[in-house]
Amino acid sequence: MSGSFDPSQLSRWPDAEGPGLVAADAADLLLLDESAAARAAVGAGELVVIGDGYGALTLGAAADGAADIRVHQDALSGEAALAANAARLAPDARFSSHGLEPALLSGARIVLLRLPRSLEALADIAATIAASSAPDVVVFAGGRVKHMTLAMNDVLRASFERLDVTHARGKSRVLIARRPRPVALPVARAANVGGLEIRAFGGAFAGPRVDIGTRLLLTHLPTPAVGGTSADPWIDFACGTGVIAATWASRRPDVHVYASDHSAAAVASARATAAANGVAERVEVVRDDLLSRRPDDSASLIALNPPFHSGSAVSDRVAPRLFRDAARVLRSGGELWCVWNSALRYRAELERTIGPTRQIARDPKFTVTVSTRR
């Protein structure tokens, strides 16, 4: 355990909470242990934390004496949870949140990295560290063994000359990367799918492709005469790379679209996708947890392909949070168009949370429904 800090006191709030959803785990503890000696040797502002779930790494390092820690978390809910945990458990901790950009890493000598799920996200993080940190930077990259693959070692080796692998403990392992290579900062991955330009940074959902569920939704998604104004934009909720927003704006040159996602990589991707399709002026992209910045009873049309992961955990607690916020934001008579994996049986939940729900399409894997706000 680090200093006087007890990670079991951390909360995930405001992120989804429930069975199997933890705020700190053995990989966080191993990362803190493996990096303890190296952290003790660096000064204020020289420690960077990337991918902290809910504050275990940042607040653990702060309890050991680290000051002015720079932190990047892809999910806005993780940022909010870190702030809430710090206020409650470690009010003196000194840290600041940043995007995945050179300012996060300039002068960094130690990086604690919680390994992301996707190799693309790891590649972008590793290249940003290598391109921006001090030449003697040491990266401690840890995760649960069941979520780690040998391909992660290759991705880290593309940005660092030396990679050491520690012994596993508590079903977790740490990779230690040193000697950054002279690599370029990451750029978005790009593809043209059926005339739509897609841009994807990091681990944005589906990468530069159209997910098969999203494709089914797009086939049936209406472009009605209601909404689409700047006061009542059509909403691409949890937009990922922004394929729904860009498709809507391309199909209807008169409408305004609002796209939001809690992931920094998704937001950067959706902005780049809108720009690549020449619709950026009518697509507002916002990083937000749920639709917290949209007023109650204000929207005529929302499209949603809901998440079913929280970090690495598959959970049925995630989508209902999004349904509840869609219900708050829709005006009476407004519609939520949703695609979901048929095995998840969301229909009763949609009926209860939003209102009368009709099945629009179904293929062997996915169901498209429209729910009308009562």
Ligand X SMILES: C[S@@+](CC[C@H](N)C(=O)[O-])C[C@H]1O[C@@H](n2cnc3c(N)ncnc32)[C@H](O)[C@@H]1O
Contact stretch for ligand X (CB under 6 A) within 24-32, 109-117, 261-269, 346-354: 261-269
Is residue 264 at the binding interface for ligand X, with CB under 6 A as the rule?
A: no
Show the binding pattern over residues 279-318: x = contacts ligand X (CB under 6 A), - = does not. Answer: ----------xx--------------x-x-----------
187 Cβ contact list (under 8 Å, min separation 6): none
Q: Distance between CA atoms of 334 and 319, rounded to whole angstroms? A: 19
Beta carbon of residue 336, minimum distance to ligand X (angstroms, whole number):
13
**Using CB under 6 A, which of 2, 263, 315, 369 touches ligand X?**
263
Residue 79 corresponds to which tokens in the numbers above? Answer: 């940022």
**Using CB under 6 A, which of 244, 246, 272, 338 touches ligand X?**
244
Beta carbon of residue 117, minimum distance to ligand X (angstroms, whole number):
11
Contact stretch for ligand X (CB under 6 A) within 94-102, 239-247, 274-282, 352-360: 239-247
Which residue type sits at 287? R
Is residue 238 at the binding interface for ligand X, with CB under 6 A as the rule?
A: yes
Residue 362 corresponds to which tokens in the numbers above? Answer: 């179904």
Q: Which residue has the tokens 């680290």?
A: 66
Q: Which of residues 177-216 bind ligand X (CB under 6 A)?
A: 205-206, 211, 214
* C-alpha count within 13 angstroms, C-beta hemisphere, residue 118: 15
| DSSP code at position 18 | B
Residue 366 corresponds to which tokens in the numbers above? Answer: 């996915």
Beta carbon of residue 168, minimum distance to ligand X (angstroms, whole number):
29
- How many other CB atoms sit within 10 Å of the CB of residue 81? 24
Comparison of 125 and 266: residue with beta carbon closer to ligand X = 266
Q: Distance between CA atoms of 177 and 34, rounded to whole angstroms? A: 13
Comparison of 133 and 273: residue with beta carbon closer to ligand X = 273
Comparison of 211 and 349: residue with beta carbon closer to ligand X = 211
Is residue 132 at the binding interface for ligand X, with CB under 6 A as the rule?
A: no
Report the SS3 class of residue 204: coil
How far from 184 is each of 13, 130, 131, 158, 264, CA to CA, in Å? 36, 9, 6, 11, 20
Number of residues that bind ligand X (CB under 6 A): 19
Distance of CA 324 to the CA centre of its chain: 20
Query: DSSP string spanning 81-137?
Result: HHHHHHHHH-TT--EEE--SSHHHHTT--EEEEEPPS-HHHHHHHHHHHHHHS-TT-
Contact stretch for ligand X (CB under 6 A) within 3-11, 104-112, 126-134, 232-240: 232-240
Show the binding pattern over residues 133-172: x = contacts ligand X (CB under 6 A), - = does not. Answer: ----------------------------------------
Beta carbon of residue 272, minimum distance to ligand X (angstroms, whole number):
14
**Using CB under 6 A, which of 208, 240, 311, 334 touches ligand X?**
240
Comparison of 104 and 290: residue with beta carbon closer to ligand X = 290
How far from 168 is each of 59, 146, 150, 171, 303, CA to CA, in Å? 23, 11, 14, 6, 43
Is residue 243 at the binding interface for ligand X, with CB under 6 A as the rule?
A: yes
Buried b / exposed e over 6-32, threshold 16 CB at 10 Å, is: ebeebebeebbeeeeebbbbbbbbbbb
**Using CB under 6 A, which of 2, 35, 77, 247 touches ligand X?**
77
Beta carbon of residue 145, minimum distance to ligand X (angstroms, whole number):
25
Beta carbon of residue 290, minimum distance to ligand X (angstroms, whole number):
5
Contact residues for ligand X, defined by CB under 6 A: 77, 205-206, 211, 214, 238-241, 243-244, 261-263, 266, 289-290, 305, 307
